[in-house]
């Protein structure tokens, strides 16, 4: 196990996440949760934090998306080979699931910072010959299968992950649960902290709950009730039955169903939401617990286009590790910034043509939208009034490019993808394209090559929305509903524009009308008629958002507020 030996004496913080977006070729992510975890790991490496990241191998990825002639999403597996990117570790651990020993082999990926620091990422894999054929595919497909399959996946991550770290020799002081998927790790820790009951003294727990709480911190990401995993105790008992005494588990995770978020809250000393508004929403959902806030950030060097990054090197050679230097964006020559942006835009336009056949004009404003395709994100809101939309385009031309996947069982999300394609085909005078199989590579093109980043979820259901941050790093101006991180980063007419006002009518009719009004009266006229002011706003958004809403700031805050204890 020489591969991990160099980490054992220092890496004392373990970050657990069902998905981690490490790189394009490794399909170990599904969406924003995984990309956030990947950015956290990249910044941990930049900062030389003593961390290890634990996730699933997900050999078949999440979703490979194709779009048929009618605009229907055709989804299937998206395989990759761990052998090509990671190193197998010569050790395995077992977890008993359904009365069978399920063996878990970890793979090691060394995530390296340009500064020379490294962070280990452990990928847990049950696809080994020692396992029963029924168990080899537990970790193959991310978020796939029924409720029982999810319990097995989350048990492998949480229980298996703790046992892997212990078997490899890590001494972990703090476990960071990135969403409730990882909450089973707290049960593995309880199992390590059994206590002897004192005769005659009633004691509700056979475990040192306080000791486990002291080790765990929990980040919740979803303000949507359905997004919190709930499992039947009958299924949990059948799958991981001997892990904990179930009457005691019900005291920690809820009397009727095992609520993974509630389990995490009860067994963590620190819990946080991922934007100020989201923390307020989470506090309402869980009023008995103190929910703090660490607003998400994204990794600037990862998401800033190279042409833009090179401009900053001329005024601040070390900006990538001293992100406060982005405040000097007003020192970047406007013409040079516009030229770098147009280079990124042409690259996106070339990709759009090669992928979809749609031709776009680099001198016409390009509106981008790329999110997980699901109901509350309202991906089709732009088309709420097609007649009004086309009338606006007749006065001030614009273009639209969109991307995003729906979960295979999210039939509403799939219906919205189909509706978007129908609208795009019906609108003849506005160049529009939908890029299939949204990925890290496509996201990089979109957040750097568009001019306006559109986001219009139903408030307050946006947790954070880091794609808008990534766009801002490139001078792309946000045009968004006031929710998630945008409530903190928004300065009207400076870093972008709001759709509606905070607390106003958020119906589709109201938000669509507000979107059209501002698009027609403010956004498009500024692009077409006042290029100097537009570029000034690009400078402002890079400075004010890049210097603050980055994952280095996020990880420093986690380190000082959650990981370190007096």
The domain boundary, picked from 277, 310, 334, lies at 277
Q: Each residue of 170-190: pLDDT tens digit?
A: 999 999 999 999 999 999 999
Structural domain count, the chain: 2
pLDDT tops 90 at residue 228? no
Per residue in 85-110, pLDDT (tens digit) is 999 998 999 999 999 999 999 999 99
Q: Is the pLDDT of residue 139 over 70?
A: yes
- Assess if residue 557 is contained within a domain: no
**How far is Cα of residue 291 from the mean position of the Cα atoms in its chain?**
19
Is 564 inside a domain boundary?
no
Residues 267 and 333 in one domain: no
pLDDT at 412 over 70: yes
Give the pLDDT score at 504. 87
The verdict on 245 and 359 lying in the same domain is no
Q: Can you tell me the distance from the alpha carbon of 151 to that of 321, in angstroms, rounded to the nearest whole number? A: 40
Q: Please report whether residue 265 resides in a domain.
A: yes
| HSE-CB of 7 using CA atoms within 13 angstroms | 32
Going by pLDDT thresholds of 50, 70 and 90, the confidence category of residue 223 is confident
Question: Rounded to an integer, what is the distance from CA 401 to the centroid of its chain?
Answer: 21
Enclosing H/E stretch for 104: strand 100-112
Co-location of 223 and 343 in the same domain = no
On whether residue 563 sits in a domain, the answer given is no
Cα–Cα distance between 271 and 47 in angstroms, integer?
23
Going by DSSP bridges, is the β-strand pair 257-259/230-232 parallel, antiparallel, or unpaired?
antiparallel
Predicted confidence (pLDDT) at residue 566 exceeds the cutoff of 60:
no
In a domain, 433, yes or no: yes
| CATH code, domain with 251 | 3.40.50.2000
Domain of 77 in residue numbering reads as 2-194+205-277
Report pLDDT for 128. 97
Q: What percent of the chain has a predicted confidence (pLDDT) above 90?
A: 90
Would you mind telling me the total number of residues written for the chain in this entry? 566
Task: Please give the angle made by the CA atoms of 124, 439 and 508, to the nearest 5 degrees.
Answer: 115
Together in a domain, 346 and 256: no
Q: What is the pLDDT of residue 200?
A: 53
pLDDT-derived band at 82, boundaries 50, 70, 90 = very high
Q: Could you report the per-residue pLDDT of 189-206, keeping only the tens digit for each?
A: 998 888 876 555 556 778
Are 332 and 262 within one domain? no
- Are residues 361 and 425 both part of a single domain? yes
Structure tokens at 366: 């390009």
Per-residue pLDDT, 358: 98
Give yes or no: residues 350 and 463 share one domain: yes
Q: What are the two backbone dihedrals, phi and then psi, of residue 147, each rounded to the nearest 5 degrees? A: -60, -40
Does residue 310 share a domain with residue 180? no
Q: Is residue 200 part of a domain?
A: no
Picking from 213, 245, 277, the residue at the C-terminal end of a domain is 277
Is residue 315 within 8 A of residue 539, CB to CB? The reply is no
Kindly report, residue by residue over 14-46, the tens digit of the pLDDT: 999 999 999 999 999 999 999 999 999 999 999
Label residue 197 exposed, middle or buried (CB < 10 Å: 0-12, 13-18, 19+).
exposed
Same domain for 169 and 47: yes
pLDDT digits over 501-542, tens only? 999 899 999 999 999 999 999 999 999 999 999 999 999 999
CA of 38: how far to CAs of 78, 150, 288, in Å?
A: 19, 22, 31
Q: What is the mean pLDDT of the chain?
A: 95
What's the pLDDT band for 390 if we cut at 50, 70, 90? very high
What is the number of other CB atoms lying within 10 angstroms of the CB of residue 226?
8
Q: Do 261 and 320 lie in a common domain?
A: no
Q: Which residue has the higher pLDDT, 195 or 396?
A: 396
Q: What is the pLDDT of residues 289-337, one digit of tens each?
A: 999 999 999 999 999 999 999 999 999 999 999 999 999 999 999 999 9
Alpha carbons 256 and 243: distance in angstroms, whole number: 18
Is 562 part of any domain? no
Residue 9 DSSP class: T
Does residue 36 lie within any of the structural domains? yes
If asked whether residues 185 and 62 sit together in one domain, one would say yes
390 and 249, same structural domain?
no
What CA–CA distances, in Å, run from 372 to 177, 268, 458? Answer: 22, 29, 14
Task: Report whether 426 contacts 386 (CB < 8 A).
Answer: yes
d(CA 192, CA 25): 37
Q: Which residues pair with 367 in a beta bridge?
A: 400, 452
């Amino acid at each position: 196990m020489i591969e991990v030996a160099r980490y054992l004496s220092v890496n004392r913080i373990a970050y657990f996440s069902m998905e981690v977006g490490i790189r394009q070729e490794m399909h170990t992510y599904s969406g924003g949760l995984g990309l956030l975890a990947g950015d956290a790991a990249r910044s941990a490496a930049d900062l030389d934090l003593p961390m290890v990241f634990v996730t699933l191998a997900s050999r078949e990825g999440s979703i490979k998306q194709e779009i048929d002639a009618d605009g229907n999403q055709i989804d299937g597996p998206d395989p990759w080979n761990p052998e090509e990117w990671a190193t197998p570790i010569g050790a395995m651990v077992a977890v008993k699931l359904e009365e069978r020993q399920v063996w878990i082999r970890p793979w090691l990926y060394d995530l390296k910072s340009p500064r020379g620091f490294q962070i280990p990422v452990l990928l847990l894999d049950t696809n080994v010959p020692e396992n029963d054929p029924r168990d080899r595919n537990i970790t193959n497909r991310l978020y796939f299968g029924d409720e029982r399959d999810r319990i097995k996946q989350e048990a492998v991550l949480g229980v298996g992950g703790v046992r892997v770290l212990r078997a490899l020799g890590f001494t972990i002081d703090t476990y960071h649960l990135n969403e409730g998927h990882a909450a089973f790790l707290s049960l593995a820790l309880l199992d390590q902290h059994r206590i002897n009951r004192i005769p005659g003294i009633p004691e509700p727990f056979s475990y040192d709950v306080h000791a486990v709480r002291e080790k765990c911190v929990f980040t919740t990401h979803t303000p949507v009730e359905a997004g919190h995993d709930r499992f039947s105790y009958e299924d949990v008992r059948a799958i991981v039955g001997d892990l904990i005494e179930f009457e005691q588990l019900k005291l920690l995770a809820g009397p009727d169903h095992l609520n993974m978020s509630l389990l995490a809250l009860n067994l963590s000393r620190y819990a946080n939401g991922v934007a100020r508004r989201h923390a307020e929403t989470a506090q309402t959902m869980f009023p008995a617990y103190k929910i703090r806030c660490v607003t998400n950030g994204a990794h600037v060097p990862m998401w800033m286009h190279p042409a833009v990054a090179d401009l900053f090197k001329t005024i601040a050679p070390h900006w990538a590790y001293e992100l406060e230097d982005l405040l000097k964006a007003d020192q970047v020559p406007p013409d040079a910034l516009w030229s770098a942006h147009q280079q990124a835009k042409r690259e996106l336009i070339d990709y759009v043509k090669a992928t979809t056949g749609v031709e776009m004009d680099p001198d016409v404003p390009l509106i981008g939208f790329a999110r997980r395709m699901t109901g509350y994100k309202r991906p089709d809101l732009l088309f709420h009034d097609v007649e009004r939309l086309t009338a606006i385009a007749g006065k001030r031309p614009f273009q639209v490019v969109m991307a995003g996947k729906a979960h295979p069982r999210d039939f509403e999300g799939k219906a919205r993808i189909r509706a978007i394609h129908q609208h795009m085909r019906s609108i003849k005078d506005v160049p529009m394209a939908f890029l299939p199989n949204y990925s890290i590579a496509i996201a990089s093109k979109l957040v750097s090559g568009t001019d306006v980043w559109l986001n219009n979820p139903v408030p307050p259901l946006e947790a954070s929305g880091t794609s808008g941050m990534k766009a801002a790093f490139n001078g792309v101006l946000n045009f968004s509903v006031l929710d998630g991180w945008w409530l903190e980063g928004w300065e009207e007419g400076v870093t972008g524009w709001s759709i509606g006002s905070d607390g106003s009518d958020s119906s589709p009719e109201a938000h669509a009308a507000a979107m059209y009004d501002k698009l027609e009266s403010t956004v498009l006229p500024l692009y077409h008629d006042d290029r100097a002011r537009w570029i000034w706003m690009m400078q402002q958004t890079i400075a004010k958002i890049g210097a603050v809403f980055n994952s280095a700031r996020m990880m420093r805050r986690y380190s000082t507020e959650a990981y370190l204890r007096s």
